[in-house]
Structure 1
Amino acid sequence: MEYILQPWPWYISGPCIAIVMFLLLYFGRTFGMSSNLRTMCALGGAGKRVAFFNYDWKSHKWNLIVVLGAIVGGFIAHFLLSNPIDIALSEATVTDLKALGFTDAGQHLLPPELFSWDAVFSFKGLVILISGGFLVGFGTRYAGGCTSGHAITGLSSLQLPSLIAVVGFFLGGLIMIHLIFPILF
């Protein structure tokens, strides 16, 4: 009998996230990838040019362990917990995606029309990456944190600004996918 690797079910991964959140809150820490990136930028010397990065990054070096964990976790998820079968999409979704130029809709988790090296290093791909990176960086700074920080840490500690930020993130995502994405592709 062949064993097919499956992603972790919600009843395993959900409690794992809850345990990590409990430990972070217990030790007075918060979770969010933007704070980890801030620590990496400060470590790299960005504080010499930008005041935002000029702080004692050594007191936040535990953030670097979170970054390492995200990299190792991504590797494990991709190579050990991925199920390489086709994705079940409705016929209407497949038709809509084909109209947008996605030829193999449902056959790849990450469509090659967006995530292949040729697509990334095209002029259009570079413009999207650079402008998207700028907008994400600006939005993260403006919102006082990233989606993971607000949605996981902020909501679990019942912070109203995090609720407002998460609603804004979802609205922005809906606007992007329904109004802007069809124009770009």
Structure 2
Amino acid sequence: MKFLQFAFLFHLMLQPSFQNGLIAQKQKMIVFDHAKSSIEIMGTTNVSDFGCAYNVRLPKDTLMIALKNAEKMLEIKGASLRLPIKSFKCDNSPMTSDFRKLLKAEEHPYINIKLIGIYKIESLKNHAEIAINIAGVQKHFTIATHIEKTDEAYLCEGNPELCITDFGIEAPEKFFGMVKVNEDITVAFSLSFSVYDL
């Protein structure tokens, strides 16, 4: 979402060049409002729900933007994010420990996210193509996002669903199979940020 660190706003900021079929490159700095931003991974078991929130300040980011009027897609270069798994805190300490084991944090300590491009459509609802690497396995996804612009900042939100077995992670069982984690998880992000020219 940054989870996706998300330069989705460039679809709005640079829309005239995109519509005219021009190719341009710009550098921008994104500064997140940590008090208004959140990233959470949520899942369910056969007995309860759980949530694990990212607990570390999101860094400033510099992105190289390439605009190409190809198939109505805004191509983004250099937009990537590394989220330390140990920076996610769950509802309680045992659950946090189980979450880290589930995502194989000792062998693969980061969730890596790369923003590849944004499909331009007429409303503020966009589709972004991203690559996510969890537990050493990378997969490509197309996710729906929503962008809102206020007087002071941009707000980008989304809640894509992922299947952990796509990343070679087996849904665990506890207490002799009495508690089972479901394969599907949701990554909910709400990112408030401002953008500055370099």
| TM-score (normalised: structure 1) | 0.29
Q: Please tell me whether Structure 1 or Structure 2 has the larger radius of gyration of its CA atoms.
A: 1
In proportion to residue count, which structure has more strand? 2
- Pick 1 or 2: higher relative contact order, CA cutoff 8 A, min separation 6: 2
| TM-score (normalised: structure 2) | 0.28
